[in-house]
Chains A and B, each alone.
Chain A
Amino acid sequence: GNSVTQMEGPVTLSEEAFLTINCTYTATGYPSLFWYVQYPGEGLQLLLKATKADDKGSNKGFEATYRKETTSFHLEKGSVQVSDSAVYFCALSVRPSKIIFGSGTRLSIRP
């Protein structure tokens, strides 16, 4: 079946540290891949996406590259800020209208 596995949190970093949140997937067919972010008390919002192999999604200093050979879509940011503290969800979509989310990774950034 289709599924997403992402690294368990919580992840705690100091401001300006380098961030990686690992995400791997299992899918039939050719999925689109997404990172969504959920700030405290809010709904999810799209952070970035990639729709085919080798595509790189980027937004707000975050990047992720769709790696078909390793079935991965790791999220990276070179220098995190306190305002990046949130829960991050990796997700895939194969079937129209259906997104499958990973379990979420809580990120906390210390000033």
Chain B
Amino acid sequence: DTAVSQTPKYLVTQMGNDKSIKCEQNLGHDTMYWYKQDSKKFLKIMFSYNNKELIINETVPNRFSPKSPDKAHLNLHINSLELGDSAVYFCASSLDRGNTDTQYFGPGTRLTVL
């Protein structure tokens, strides 16, 4: 069973469109995250949720809106897609939000904006 899963794996779309990426974890973790990895492999946190509550929002444009319907799911909706949004987006989860907690990553969603 996959611990952290994301759909879709690949997403190709036109500028200006709206798209969503879904994430689910079956680890029973309380905290979930979204990261963006650019073409040079640089990885930066975007959002973090603990028990469905937003706890980190790293100055991400408000075109990006995370939604956590329950502890096991954290979806990412992106409005008015721009070329610069092209990247690999990773979802992750951890047992709690302590700074010693291991984060478990999904396989990533490669978003290409044309």
Contacts and interface: CB of A to CB of B under 8 A. Distances in A.
A34 B104 CA distance: 13
A21 interface: no
Nearest to A104: B41
Interface in A41-55: 41-46, 49, 51
Nearest to B94: A97
Interface residues of B, dominant DSSP: strand
Interface string B12-28: 00000000000000000
Interface string A40-81: 011111100101000000000000000000000000000000
Nearest to A52: B100
A87 B37 CA distance: 13
B84 interface: no
Interface stretch (B48-56, B62-70, B75-83): B48-56
Nearest to A93: B99
Interface residues of A, number: 25
Interface of B: 4, 31, 33, 40-45, 48, 50, 55-56, 90, 92, 94, 97-100, 102-108
Given A93-B99, A97-B55, 6 more contacts: A32-B100, A34-B102, A43-B106, A43-B108, A46-B104, A98-B56
Interface of A: 31-32, 34, 38, 41-46, 49, 51, 87, 89, 93-99, 101, 103-104, 106
